[in-house]
Amino acid sequence: MLLLVFGLSFLSFFPSLSLSQHFAPTRTKPHHRISVSLNLKQRKQREEKRRMMMKLDTSGLESFSAAVPSAMAAAEDQLFAPPSFDLPAGCADFDKFQMEAKQTLKHAKGTTTLAFIFNQGVIVAADSRASMGGYISSQSVKKIIEINPYMLGTMAGGAADCQFWHRNLGIKCRLHELANKRRISVTGASKLLANILYSYRGMGLSIGTMIAGWDEKGPGLYYVDSEGGRLKGNRFSVGSGSPYAYGVLDNGYRPDMTVEEAHELARRAIYHATFRDGASGGVVSVYHVGPNGWKKLSGDDVSELHYKYYPVQPTPVEHEMVDAPPA
Amino acid sequence: MARYDRAITVFSPDGHLFQVEYALEAVRKGNAAVGVRGSDTVVLGVEKKSTPKLQDSRTVRKIVSLDTHIALACAGLKADARVLINRARIECQSHRLTVEDPVTVEYITRYIAGLQQKYTQSGGVRPFGLSTLIVGFDPYSEKPALYQTDPSGTFSAWKANATGRNSNSMREFLEKNYKETSGKETIKLAIRALLEVVESGGKNIEIAVMTHKDGLRQLEEAEIDEYVAEIEAEKAAAEAAKKGGFCFIILY
């Protein structure tokens, strides 16, 4: 399921805990958290701890009462204190509880993306469905992000996280080019992203991306995720539909394919994944990265692909019904 | 933490940074150093002051390597050099870690020059009193490179350059006699330039040669003496030819 991040201020008005079980929001803005029954001192302590852990400078978002002298602030806080509720039984550490809840539900990155290297370059393919539980929120999400004219990134996990950090990576790659008068290698770019994601480890980023490109050393493909892992490889598939895509991809892969054959293989692999995985669907996009940069090869709707691969057989009718001849 | 906020390097009314210029003076008093770039070789040479008898000469290395493919020689305050070299070495490894690629010569030169410039624009510090000659090969390339930095933080690429004592005469010599050379010829050109300002002999010259295949190699004293002997022989032959020709003309 691809999580779309709502305006989180919306959530802060809902003190009910059951909301977290439906949507399990990734906590990117701790100031707008769900308020629960903690007395003032505990809440302030937690805010302090969170503030010290945060890397981003959120001083601009602090509420105005923080600037007011403490006596006044205390009075104000009591006046405007939100309604308090009892914590669930046996929940001393609310943060840990929330993390555990998220883990049990384990929203695997609902998508299918794949990429592989062959003799003529790199093929990158992805579906385009975004879902939230059983609801399909979009059938036309761009999951292949163009970092720069010779590098692509795929999106799996949190859409906002992927989009933002890929754009950020694009900026860093361009700055590297300007400073060093030569393009950054795929190795370097993936390492930059992996180091950034590692420094945000544990803070709720959800990214499972592949960086594909062509540099001085030839075609390059790396898998980078929000746990800070980074793997170099020839074939990767990421997302909830990846087992199905791997089946087709590993079966049909040959390093000496032509671009057309590789294109068809990637398209078929994604189609089969969308057929079996409910969280994948929409349109299959296939890109090819060659020595001169990337080029979009095709974007096919999977339902049309289905009938292309499995055309409707005209079933023979056993007894044709003939109109009774007019009397 | 208390930090200095008063800069020592400030502009003069007519636009000079005197501290930087004084640093350049310090460089001019330092040992002579020369660098020559050939087509497949790059050579660094420095003047070696006579070692006191009790000193262990192995601990006084004037030409150092920053990485397996980059070397540096400098003229000026040697203690400042030590600090700068350590920072550069760390940066070389840090670059290898973050980008999984060795540094290019231009990158590390830019880093060192940037460091030197920072110390001309910070509170409570003085500029580094040294100019460096940085040589090396870019990764995935067989072309050698030679760069020079100075206390002001500027850097540029050179075919051949000299710094330190009597660098002007060395540079004039190089300008007159530079041509594209390779291998041994490059080494000889560097030694000839140094010999203009230094007493001849392997005892007073330190030479290091860098090639793409073999990396940095410091020449032994005996080798340098050989080269010096060759050069002197060539010089004598040239003199004789000139004199002989002259006499010939007069006779005729």
Which of these is catalytic: A26, A58, A111, A187? A111
Q: Which of A182, A191, A216 has its CB closest to that of B100?
A: A191
What is the residue-wise DSSP string for A182-242? SPPPHHHHHHHHHHHHHHTTTTT--BEEEEEEEETTEEEEEEEETTS-EEE-SEEEESTTH
Tell me which of B91, B94, B97, B99 to substitute to probe the interface with A (most A C-beta atoms closer than 10 Å): B99
Closest chain A CA to residue B139: A216
Closest chain B CA to residue A173: B99
With a cut of 70, say whether residue B115 has pLDDT above it.
yes
The verdict on whether A111 is a catalytic residue reads: yes
For chain B, what is the radius of gyration of the CA atoms?
Answer: 20
**For residues B80 and B69, is the Cβ–Cβ distance under 8 A?**
no
Tell me which of B94, B95, B96, B101 to substitute to probe the interface with A (most A C-beta atoms closer than 10 Å): B101
For residues B37-44, average pLDDT: 95
| Cβ separation B100–A216 shorter than 8 A | no
In this prediction, residue A14 carries a pLDDT of: 40
A216 vs B contacts (CB less than 8 Å): 140
Q: What tens digit of pLDDT does each residue of A76-113 get? A: 666 777 777 776 666 677 777 777 766 554 455 689 99
Measure the CA–CA gap between B84 and B131, rounded to whole angstroms. Answer: 11
Query: Which candidate, B212, B232, B228, B211, places its Cα nearest to that of B220?
Result: B228
B98 vs A contacts (CB less than 8 Å): 188, 191-192, 195
| Cβ separation A195–B98 shorter than 8 A | yes
Global confidence as pTM: 0.72
Q: What tens digit of pLDDT does each residue of A52-75 get? A: 555 566 666 666 544 555 666 666
Measure the CA–CA gap between B241 and B252, rounded to whole angstroms. Answer: 16
Q: Which of B99, B104, B106 has its CB closest to that of A187?
A: B99
Tell whether A195 is within 8 A of chain B (Cβ).
yes
**Secondary structure string (H, E, C) spanning chain B:** CCCCCCECCCECCCCCEHHHHHHHHHHHHCCCEEEEECCCEEEEEEECCCCCCCCCHHHCCCEEEEECCEEEEEEECHHHHHHHHHHHHHHHHHHHHHHCCCCCHHHHHHHHHHHHHHCCCCECCCCCCEEEEEEEECCCCCCEEEEEECCCCCEEECCEEEECCCHHHHHHHHHHHCCCCCCHHHHHHHHHHHHCCCCCCCCCEEEEEEECCCEEEECCHHHHHHHHHHHHHHHHHHHHHHHHHHHHHHHC
Q: Are strands A144-148 and A135-138 parallel, antiparallel or unpaired?
A: unpaired
A182 vs B contacts (CB less than 8 Å): 104
| Cβ separation B101–A188 shorter than 8 A | yes
Q: Are strands B41-47 and B205-211 parallel, antiparallel or unpaired?
A: antiparallel
Please provide the average confidence, as pLDDT, over all residues in chain B.
Answer: 90
Q: How confident is the model at residue A136 (pLDDT cuts 50, 70, 90)?
A: confident
ipTM of the shown complex: 0.76
| Cβ separation B98–A188 shorter than 8 A | yes
In this prediction, residue A3 carries a pLDDT of: 47
In this prediction, residue A159 carries a pLDDT of: 82
Consecutive H or E run containing A115: strand A113-118
In this prediction, residue B250 carries a pLDDT of: 62
